[in-house]
Amino acid sequence: MSVQHVVLFNFDPELNEEDKAEMFAQVGSWPAEIGGFDELRLGPPADTERTRGFHYLLYMVVGDEDALGRYLVHPVHRGFAAWVVEHGGTVLAFDYRLDEGTVIPTGTG
């Protein structure tokens, strides 16, 4: 059963261009350095009026809860988490199982 992991990031102060590039480079290295992702995305909001101050969203899908657990304790992820804190970041994380109780059929194929 796949698991979706969603993280919202708020930075105070907001990241400068160099730090933004560093954040994207770090996350971009994860498929090679950590592995185990079915999907991995990172981006800013399309509309900042509704984000309640959050600047970025990290979205990932992994194969199961064991894969999520391996990611969470991986040294590369832990280094990134420390980097976020060092740069004034706070996070809101949410994980849930993708199963018949959480996936809503859309009829779009």
* Per-residue pLDDT reduced to its tens digit, 15-55: 999 999 999 999 999 999 999 999 999 999 998 788 888 99
Domains and CATH numbers, the chain: 2-98 (3.30.70.100)
Question: In this predicted structure, what is the pLDDT of residue 109?
Answer: 60
- Specify whether the CB–CB gap between 67 and 3 falls below 8 A: yes
Place of tokens 């480079």: 25
- Specify whether the CB–CB gap between 25 and 79 falls below 8 A: no
Q: How confident is the model at residue 101 (pLDDT cuts 50, 70, 90)?
A: confident
Q: Whole-model pTM?
A: 0.89
Question: In this predicted structure, what is the pLDDT of residue 89?
Answer: 97
Three-class secondary structure of residue 107 per DSSP: coil
